[in-house]
Every structure is written in structure tokens, then in C-alpha cells.
Amino acid sequence: MKNNEIIEKIIKERRNVRTFSNKKVSKKITSKIIEMGIWAPNHRMTEPWRFRVIQKNSEKRLLISKKIEKYIKKNSNNSNSETVQKIADKVKTEFEACPLIIYVSSLVGKSEEETLENYSSTSIAIQNMSLYAWSVGIGIGWSTGKPIKVKELKKIIEVPNSSIIAGCLYMGYIEKKSVIIKKSRTNHLKKTIWN
């Protein structure tokens, strides 16, 4: 396969995944995935990304998962407490069982413009990580949901209060590509104006 064909295949095949096999993701491959992230373009070379690896069964993983449960119970609109508990248990179990979790945060800049540029770069870093991970059979589920909304998260994962948490990445080896939900995109020409 030619380089352009390989890159097109990985870009198009990559999906957001949250179902993984139990296989452990080694420190070596985790480190490589993060290294791929930091080759993202970044204006003024601010290198604004920070990574917090939250390993399975670690104290922090368990602490955050308890806080996710609390967050769900406190913020749910559902008046049926049994249903809310079921939802909380499901999210908590998923968070605890995930082979690897990485929080990615972005530094605040010297101006609003720089903060926005930093956030853009950090998002690109996540995409770099996702593409590389996919190429070695590891899926990433990017979440800006409950796992980033829990109380005192920044304190727990030692991220400055001013930083933006760009995502919580659920990661693990992909079990069966066949069960991954197919996603399509609107034709790019419908989003493009040629002058």
C-alpha cells in the first residue's frame, strides 16, 4: 500500500470506541501513543497538552469513579432513584473496567486567542493519538461527559484550575471491529465553497 492509501485507510476507519478487550495496554505502547500526540502543530510552540494516565485499579481511578457516581445522582433529571442508581452503576463499572484512561488537558494562554489556539492544538494531539492507536489495534473513546465534570477532578489529577480538560480518553484493545458502529460523513463537497 502507498503512504497516501495507508493514511486514508486509518483516517476513515478510526472510530470512537468504548468496548474493549481485557488485554492490558502496556506502558511502552501508552507512552508511544502519547508521543505521537505531541507532534501536533502548535502556534508559538506553546506545547499546551498535558497527559494524566489513570491506570486500572489505581487509587485515582477508584476515587474518580466514586465521584462520577455522586455526580450522576446529584445531577440526574430522572425522578426514579432505582433507574438513576442503575445508570450510575453502569457508568462507574465502565470507567473502572476500562483498560486505560488518559485525561488530556490544555494550558491557558497569555490571551484568549492563545488559549483557543492551545485548545485547538490539544485536540489535534488527541486525534494524532487516536490515529496511531488505531493503527496498532487500540481504540479510543473521547469523552467530554461525566468523567470530566466530576467535582474536584482537576485537583485529583493535578491539573491547574485554569487549564481546560479537553477530554477523558477511554482506551483499550479493540475486541471485534465488526461490532463497531459504522459512521458516515456528509459529502465534503456539500461543506465546501470553491471560488
Ligand X SMILES: Cc1cc2nc3c(=O)[nH]c(=O)nc-3n(C[C@H](O)[C@H](O)[C@H](O)COP(=O)(O)O)c2cc1C
Indicate the residue type of 99: P
CB of 167 to ligand X, least distance (A): 6
In this complex, which beta carbon is closest to ligand X, that of residue 108 or of residue 180? Answer: 180
Residues 79 and 87 sit within 8 Å (Cβ to Cβ): no
CB of 148 to ligand X, least distance (A): 8
**Do 53 and 84 meet the contact criterion of CB atoms below 8 Å apart?**
no
Residue nearest to ligand X (CB): 145
Find the helix or strand (DSSP H, E) in which 138 lies: strand 138-143
* Shortest distance (Å) from residue 131 CB to ligand X: 11
Q: Which is nearer to ligand X, 30 or 143 (CB)?
A: 143
Q: Which one, 24 or 76, has the nearer CB to ligand X?
A: 76
Q: Using DSSP, how many helices (H) and how many strands (E) does the chain show?
A: 7, 4
Burial category of 106 from C-beta neighbours within 10 Å (exposed 0-12, middle 13-18, buried 19 and up)? buried
- Residues forming contacts to ligand X in the complex (CB under 6 A) are 15-16, 142-145, 167, 183
Q: Which is nearer to ligand X, 16 or 85 (CB)?
A: 16
Are 147 and 54 within 8 A, CB to CB? no
Which residue, 20 or 142, is less far from ligand X as judged by CB?
Answer: 142
Smallest gap from residue 106 Cβ to ligand X (A): 12
Minimum distance from residue 141 beta carbon to ligand X (Å) = 7
CA distance 97 to 22: 8
